[in-house]
Amino acid sequence: MRYTSLMPASELPTSIQKELVARWRETGRVLEAQRHAELAAQSARQSQQAAFDMLQLGGMMPVDPAREQACGLIEMQRLFARWRGRGRD
């Protein structure tokens, strides 16, 4: 049987599935170590710039009208105000 990237994992023999999981586990470990090393090597200025860049990406996203109507933060503020009001009664 020939294995292709389009084949569902459930059709692969268990031994092949286990081998793939082991490879991905090792790949994840190596990538995590690389990410950690790169972050540790950054200067404070590079870290600040990376954080700023990520925040700027959020500003480029289109506004979701549904979130404007039902924001979790606003809802929590309403709850806190209600609780605060009940404490004074």
- Written in H, E and C, the secondary structure of 22-79 is HHHHHHHHHHHHHHHHHHHHCCHHHHHHHHHHHHHHHHHCCCCHHHHHCCHHHHHHHH
- 21-29 mean pLDDT: 95
Residue 4 domain-assigned (yes or no): no
Does residue 41 lie in a domain region?
A: yes
Residue 74 belongs to a domain: yes
Tell whether 48 is covered by a domain.
yes
Range(s) of the domain holding residue 72 = 9-88
Number of domains in the chain: 1
For residue 11, what pLDDT is reported? 82
> Which pLDDT belongs to residue 12?
83
Within a domain: residue 80? yes
Does residue 82 lie within any of the structural domains?
A: yes
Give the pLDDT score at 67: 66
27-80: pLDDT as tens digits: 999 999 999 999 999 999 999 999 999 988 877 878 777 766 666 788 888 889
pLDDT at 39 (0 to 100)? 93
